[in-house]
Amino acid sequence: MASSTVVELSRWQFAITAIFHMTFPALTVGLSVLLAVVYTAYVRTGNPLYLQIFRFWKKIFAVGFGLGVVAGTVMTFEFGLNWGTYAHAVGPVIGVTIGMEVITAFFLEAGFIGLMLYGDGRIRPRTMALASWMVAFGTLLSTTWILSANSWMQDPVGYRKTDGQFHATDWADILLNPAFAHRFPHMLLAVLISAAWFVGGISAWYLVKNRVHAQPMARRCLSIALGVLGVLMPIQLYVGDGTAVFMGQHQLPKLEAFEGNWKSDNNGYNLLVVPDTDKGENLLHVEVPYLGSVIAQDLSGKTTTPGLLQTPPDERPNMWTTFYGFRAMYFTALLMFGTAFAGVVLRLRRRLFDSPRFLKWMVWMTPAGIIAVTGGWIVAETGRQPWVVYGQLRTADAVSHLSAPEVATTLAGFVLLYVTLLAVWARYIVRTVKAGPEALPTGPASPDVSEALVA
């Protein structure tokens, strides 16, 4: 059997490639919706502002989408490269789901993205709008399939095991599995929210810097972003809470680990823990008393949170990654909620575009969504360990017959490549943002603009 080094290295490789991949869809799914909306607004109203917005965000979207695609390609093959046994076992289930993702969603995006990105000035505006919507629809559909596949691994149903291979018995159960019902809306909202922070943060930067040419665009985008956030943040907290409760029922060790308790006698809420995994205790923990019970819907403060000692040692996830992944997501979510709340208040007080402190804070919130999404996936994936298919297939048994130096080489290659790519990507964003949108010529708008476009 494969050595534990190969398992560890393969896990690191998968984790790094997955996190890297995830940062792009976290932006591009929401951006594709924004682009489709503003282009449609442009076609309908003829207002050049919407075309300016489209052309500006298109530049950032194009490179992000391309990087997301190539990073996703890597993952498609990694299932077989590093996890051959897993691939053989779940191919009849997960392989089919991901196959459907590729044929229905991925091809849709890829088929229309060329039109959307390079069609401006070559094809009719209505066709451009259609292509933009198709890309947006494709990214949303892609999210749906992927969440279905991953949720099945979190809570497998609808299968029969034959010779170590999962055979599908009920496709409706598999695709619409119980975990999917919670995790799909949670993820869908998460990607829309992440893109909204990104757009809002960059727009706020233009307002802070008082870039005259970018002001109308920045105000328009900030208004859209904070509008979306005001509506979605309360819903997301509610859906997220539901997902955590569901995990508590179906994957108790994950909840035990992300709440950071060993013994099951704590009615407080841990803000910070330093766990000692071997001894099964926390060397240090900072908690808010009674809050754990309140979050568990017991306002009297008596309910305690289950601890990890309930779970046999060989079925425990790592508390470090699970706890801090959850805290990264949750604390960022609270900041996001507060900021969105402040945005609604400021809008009501007519101060949205003229509150320097709030706008500066918005700039800091630019990556908030991506941080939360990453944290959330770390909880979902490391909290499921030591299983790759929960309760059915252990990660250690899923790996390919490879040698440690082989995996170490490719891991180093990916780290080097991805660090470079992140640097190039960040630099590209900074440059594009600093260059600003295309200048809008000023002057009285000719009254026939909209008619010309309709014709």
Partner 1 sequence: MLEYAAYALVLFSIGMYVVLDGYDLGVGMLSLAAGPERRREYGEIVATAWDANESWIILAGVVLWAGLPGAYSVVLPAVYLPLIGMLIAVILRGLGLEMHSAAGGYRRGWALLFGGASLAAAVCQGLVLGAVLSGPRQRGGIFTGGAFDWLTPYSALCALGLVVVYLLAGAAWLQDKTEGWSRPRARRAGRSLLAATAVVAVVLGLLLPGADPQETHLDEPVRAVLFWLAVAVAVAAGAVAWSGFGRAPDWRPFAAVATLITSGLLGLAVLTVPVVVPPGLTVHQVASPHSSQLFLVLGVGLSMPFVLAYNVYAWRSFRGKYTDPVEQALPPLRAVPRAVPAAPADSGTARTVLRRVLLVVLGILATALSQDVFGGVSEWIGPLGVAVLAAAALAAWIAGDRRDLRDGCFDVDAGAESTS
127 belongs to the binding site for partner 1 (CB under 8 A): yes
Which range touches partner 1 (CB under 8 A), out of 113-121, 260-268, 282-290, 381-389? 113-121
| Nearest distance in Å: CB 431, partner 1 | 7
Cβ proximity to partner 1: between 65 and 390 the closer is 65
368 belongs to the binding site for partner 1 (CB under 8 A): no
Residues between 264 and 303 with contacts to partner 1, criterion CB under 8 A: 294-299
| Nearest distance in Å: CB 193, partner 1 | 13
Of 398, 402, 335, nearest in space to 367 by CA: 335
Of 12, 153, 86, nearest in space to 400 by CA: 86
436 belongs to the binding site for partner 1 (CB under 8 A): no
74 belongs to the binding site for partner 1 (CB under 8 A): yes
User: Is 27:425 a contact under the CB 8 Å cutoff?
Assistant: no
The structure tokens 């149903």 sit at 157
The structure tokens 């790519």 sit at 421
| Nearest distance in Å: CB 281, partner 1 | 28
User: Between the CA of residue 188 and those of 15, 25, 113, what are the distances in Å?
Assistant: 21, 11, 21
363 belongs to the binding site for partner 1 (CB under 8 A): no
231 belongs to the binding site for partner 1 (CB under 8 A): yes
248 belongs to the binding site for partner 1 (CB under 8 A): no
121 belongs to the binding site for partner 1 (CB under 8 A): yes
Residues between 140 and 169 with contacts to partner 1, criterion CB under 8 A: 162, 165, 167-169
Task: Find the distance separating the first CA and the last CA of the chain, reported in whole Å.
Answer: 69
User: Between the CA of residue 59 and those of 32, 56, 399, 408, 427, what are the distances in Å?
Assistant: 12, 6, 39, 35, 13
413 belongs to the binding site for partner 1 (CB under 8 A): yes
Which range touches partner 1 (CB under 8 A), out of 118-126, 272-280, 321-329, 368-376? 118-126
Q: Which of 84, 280, 301, 367 binds partner 1 (CB under 8 A)?
A: 84
| Nearest distance in Å: CB 241, partner 1 | 5
Q: What residues are paired with 281 via a beta bridge?
A: 276
Cα separation, 207 vs 215, whole angstroms: 6
241 belongs to the binding site for partner 1 (CB under 8 A): yes
In single-letter form, the type of residue at position 86 comes to Y
User: Is 170:130 a contact under the CB 8 Å cutoff?
Assistant: no
Residues between 315 and 344 with contacts to partner 1, criterion CB under 8 A: 334, 337-338, 340-342, 344
171 belongs to the binding site for partner 1 (CB under 8 A): yes
| Nearest distance in Å: CB 373, partner 1 | 18
Cα separation, 16 vs 19, whole angstroms: 5
Which range touches partner 1 (CB under 8 A), out of 27-35, 47-55, 196-204, 315-323? 47-55
Before 48, cis peptide (omega within 30)? no
125 belongs to the binding site for partner 1 (CB under 8 A): no
Mind giving me the DSSP string for 180-211? HHHHHHHHHHHHHHHHHHHHHHHHHHHHHHT-
